[in-house]
Structure 1
Amino acid sequence: MFSSIGIPGLIIILVLALILFGPAKLPQLGKAVGDTLREFKKSTKEVVDEVTEPFESEEKKETKN
């Protein structure tokens, strides 16, 4: 995901974040971003599980016969 940005790009983003939000707000911002990403991953996993569950149960039925 970050391979196309590179180290210099990440440093520029960090400096801009420091300028925009200040050092006091960065931990709160990082926590909010982390929580958001965690919730997004959880939601996408639930959707994938809901979609693939019927197919997995069909495969189990076929292997029993």
Structure 2
Amino acid sequence: MFGQLFQPMHLLLVLVIALFVFGPSKLPQLGASIGKSIRELRKGLDGAVDQSGTAAQPTQTTQQAETKK
């Protein structure tokens, strides 16, 4: 079912629609904000509690925030 969803023509159609909706000047900003969101999500997941119940190693951002306090 989902194998046919990500065909090249479908992805091209989605990109063309995004170009019309957001315009060519907003697409780089949109891509950058999505990338930043994904990085922050991964950092948050790295600091989450793992399956064994012990906390994972804190990320660099967390350590920097603690030293600034």
Aligned length, in residue pairs: 51
Q: TM-score, normalised by structure 2?
A: 0.60
Aligned-residue CA RMSD in angstroms?
A: 2.1
Structure with the greater alpha carbon radius of gyration: 1
Aligned-pair distance for 1:45?
2.0
Matched with 2:39 is 38
**Unmatched runs of 5 consecutive residues or more in structure 2:** 55-69
* Partner Cα separation in structure 2 for residue 38 and residue 28 of structure 1: 15
Matched with 1:22 is 23
Quick one: structure 1 residues 45 and 6, their matched pair in 2 at CA, closer, same or farther if it must change by over 3 Å? farther
Matched with 1:63 is none
Matched with 1:11 is 12
Q: Which runs of 4+ in 1 moved over 4 A?
A: none
Higher percent of residues as helix: 1
